[in-house]
Structure 1
Amino acid sequence: MFQLDPDLEAFRQEIRKTAERAFSAKAAYWDEKEEFPTENRDLLAKLGYLGMVIPEAYGGSGAPVIQGTILLEEVARVCFNTALVAQIALNGPSRALAVLASEEQKQRWLPGCANGDYSFAIGISEPGAGSAMTDMITSAVPDGDHIVLNGQKAYCTGGHLASHVFVFARWGKTQGPRGIGALVVERGMKGFEVGHPDRKMGGRGIPEVELYFDHCRVPTQNVILAGDPDSTRSFKRLMSSFGPERVGNAAMCLGVAQAAYEAARKYSQEREQFGRPICEFQGLQWKVADMAVQLHAARLMIYRAATNLVDGFPDPLEAAMAKLYANEMVQRVTNEALQIHGHAGFTRALPLERMVRDSRGFALGGGTTEILRNTIASMVYGRAFDQRRA
């Protein structure tokens, strides 16, 4: 078993107790009612967890990536929707702002992220640009001391509740990654509209929305990185700053899978058929053994990625590998855990069916498992492979 240092292990126990005490009782409620867990977000903010990885100079704790990873794992173990709130705060736009923003921008936005006054979402995907995100057509046109933004974003997690959105857009008449930059759009800006939340399979307390920009005038002081029509420099810098999101995604997979495994192990010792506990049947022993092995492997990969940093961020190859393995592991483990519970696991009386639903989306957001395989192959071979038709 991976051994954490005493301080991190103490933190794990602290956040586990907090999560079990404060978040577990209503985990099913947020899913059933499709309601945002506002009270849980407020508690995370009050305890300082939303600003955990934000530098101390801007009101945060300046904690390492591994500490945020442990928090996500333990919160996801009891409530996926609350973990997703923490994931967006820890590994979303505030992380990019801490690296890429100007000093004035950091002073303006990061303290509000740390104390919970601000909630940032991210707008990257578009109706015609999902995995092929560099097909995005949302345009950013300089006009004096403003940028005129036109376009549409899709699948923006929690975008209907965000106070700010970190938007990727294209500067100039370019194609591919050239010219892509980013700026911050604030709620209430003229020309910025938020669509209705999409109803979805899992993570139902935090739906996705579409964002619409119709000649939305954004002050130039909100530009994080202007796109360079002659290079891919801005795009590459933007993408590197979101590397921790993959480790956070994997950590949530680990937490959900851990909860499913614990439930299956306990149930198999209590449930009797043919006059003995079902854990005495070899077929079920193998299922539980395989689950334990996969959890152990995922934890090693995730913790390795969270502690092996390159320029302050998880190594890109290890982060991609950890997310890929964890995304597929959580689907296998939750499915087997439901199977061990039999028809009872298929009912809403138990959390297994919710875990199966929640776990499915991990393999779609932050890079699909197919795209991750392409990414890993490129790094293994040391060359880029163009997926576009010649």
Structure 2
Amino acid sequence: MFQLDPDLEAFRQDIRKTAERAFAAKAAYWDEKEEFPTENRDLLARLGYLGMVIPEAYGGSGAPVIQGTILLEEVARVCFNTALVAQIAINGPSRAIAIMASDAQKQRWLPGCVSGEHSFAIGISEPGAGSAMTDMVTSATPDGDHVLLHGQKAYCTGGHLATHVFVFARWGKTQGPKGIGALVVERGTPGFEVGHPEQKMGGRGMPEVELFFDRCRVPRANVIMEGDPNSTRSFKRLMSSFGPERVGNAAMCLGVAQAAYEAAKAYSQQREQFGRPICEFQGLQWKIADMAVQIHAARLMIYRAATHLVDGFPDPLEAAMAKLYANEMVQRVTNEALQVHGHAGFTRALPLERMVRDSRGFALGGGTTEILRNTIASMVYGRAFEQRRG
């Protein structure tokens, strides 16, 4: 087994106790009611977890990526929706701001992220630019002391609740990755409208919305990285800043899979058929063994990615590999865990069907498993493969 150092192991035990005590009881409630877990977010803020990776100079703890990874794993083990809240706070825009923003921007926004006063969302995907995100058409046009933002974003997680949105946009008449930069849009800015939350299969306590920008005037002081029409440099730098998001995504997969495995193992020891516990049947033993192996492999990959940093971010290849494996692993494990429970697992009386639903979205957000394979292949070959029609 991967051995954490004593301090990290103590942290794991602390966050596990906190999660089980504070989050487990209402995990089904947030899903059933499709309600945002506000009380859990407030508790995370009071405990300092929302700002744990933000530098101490701005009120955070300056914790390493691995510590945030452990927190997400343990919270997801008991409440997926609360883990999503933590994921966006820990590995979302605030991390990019902490690495790439100016000192003035960090002072403006990061202390509020720590306290919970500020809630950031991210706007990247568009109706016509999902996996092909460099097809985005949302434009940013300099206009004196402002930038005119025009376009639409889709599937923005928690965007209707955010006080700020970290928006990717295109500077100049460019195509592909050239000219793409990013800026922060504050809620209430004229020309910025938020759509209605969409109903989802899983993660139902954290809805997604569309964002609309109609010549929205954003102060130039809010530009994190201006797009260069002659270069892909800004886009590549921006994308590298979200490497921790992939590791966090994988960590949540790990937490959900761990919970499903534990439930299946316990049930197999309690449930009797043909006069003996079902764990005595080889077919069930193999299912539990396969779950244990896959979870162990995922944990090693995720922890490796979380501790092997390049310029402050997880190594891109290892982060992509960890996310890809974990995304598919959690679907296999939750599905087999439901199977072990038989029809009882198919009912809403047990959390298995919820775990199956929640885990399915991991393979879509932050890079689909298909796109991740393309990304990994490009890094393995050491060259980019053009996906667009010639």
TM-score band by shorter chain is over 0.9
Does 2:156 align with 1:152?
A: no
Distance of 2:193 and 2:150 partners within structure 1: 11
The aligned runs of 1:1-390 (5 Å cut-off) are 1-390=1-390
Distance of 1:314 and 1:356 partners within structure 2: 28
Q: Deviations over 1:177-219 (max 9, x none)?
A: 0000000000000000000000000000001000000010000
Distance of 2:246 and 2:212 partners within structure 1: 27
- Where 2:350 maps in the other structure, the secondary structure is coil
- Where 1:118 maps in the other structure, the secondary structure is coil
Distance of 1:176 and 1:311 partners within structure 2: 25
Distance of 1:255 and 1:146 partners within structure 2: 43
Distance of 1:351 and 1:51 partners within structure 2: 30
Matched AA of 2:114: A
Distance of 2:378 and 2:16 partners within structure 1: 38
Distance of 2:63 and 2:172 partners within structure 1: 38
- Where 2:3 maps in the other structure, the secondary structure is coil
- Where 1:153 maps in the other structure, the secondary structure is strand
Report deviation, 1:27. 0.1
Q: Deviations over 1:55-80 (max 9, x none)?
A: 00000000000000000000000000
- Where 1:183 maps in the other structure, the secondary structure is strand
- Where 2:293 maps in the other structure, the secondary structure is helix
Report deviation, 1:369. 0.2
Q: Deviations over 1:232-274 (max 9, x none)?
A: 1110110011110000000000000000000000000000000
Matched AA of 1:309: L
Q: Deviations over 1:62-113 (max 9, x none)?
A: 0000000000000000000000000000000000000110000000000000
Matched AA of 2:221: Q
* TM-score (normalizing by structure 1): 1.00
Matched AA of 1:119: S
Distance of 1:156 and 1:296 partners within structure 2: 32
Q: Deviations over 1:221-240 (max 9, x none)?
A: 00000110010111011001
- Where 2:142 maps in the other structure, the secondary structure is strand
Distance of 1:202 and 1:389 partners within structure 2: 34
- Where 1:162 maps in the other structure, the secondary structure is coil
Matched AA of 1:130: G
* TM-score (normalizing by structure 2): 1.00
Distance of 2:379 and 2:134 partners within structure 1: 19
- Where 2:87 maps in the other structure, the secondary structure is helix
Matched AA of 1:76: A
Matched AA of 1:362: F
Provide the identity percentage.
Answer: 89
Distance of 1:183 and 1:309 partners within structure 2: 25
Matched AA of 1:208: E
Matched AA of 2:338: L
Distance of 1:222 and 1:306 partners within structure 2: 29
Matched AA of 2:379: M
Report deviation, 1:159. 0.1
Report deviation, 1:312. 1.1
- Where 2:152 maps in the other structure, the secondary structure is strand
Distance of 2:57 and 2:322 partners within structure 1: 31
Distance of 1:112 and 1:200 partners within structure 2: 29
Q: Which runs of 4+ in 1 moved over 6 A?
A: none
Distance of 2:180 and 2:3 partners within structure 1: 42
- Where 1:51 maps in the other structure, the secondary structure is coil
Report deviation, 1:311. 1.0
Report deviation, 1:119. 0.2
Distance of 2:280 and 2:241 partners within structure 1: 49
Distance of 1:323 and 1:109 partners within structure 2: 29
Distance of 2:45 and 2:14 partners within structure 1: 16
Matched AA of 1:133: M
Matched AA of 1:172: G
Matched AA of 1:178: K
Report deviation, 1:330. 0.1
- Where 1:193 maps in the other structure, the secondary structure is strand
Structure 1: gaps (5+ residues): none
Distance of 1:367 and 1:345 partners within structure 2: 29
Report deviation, 1:37. 0.1
Report deviation, 1:114. 0.8
Distance of 1:92 and 1:104 partners within structure 2: 19
- Where 1:306 maps in the other structure, the secondary structure is helix
Q: Deviations over 1:120-165 (max 9, x none)?
A: 0000000000000000000000111000010000000000000000
Structure 2: gaps (5+ residues): none
- Where 1:134 maps in the other structure, the secondary structure is helix
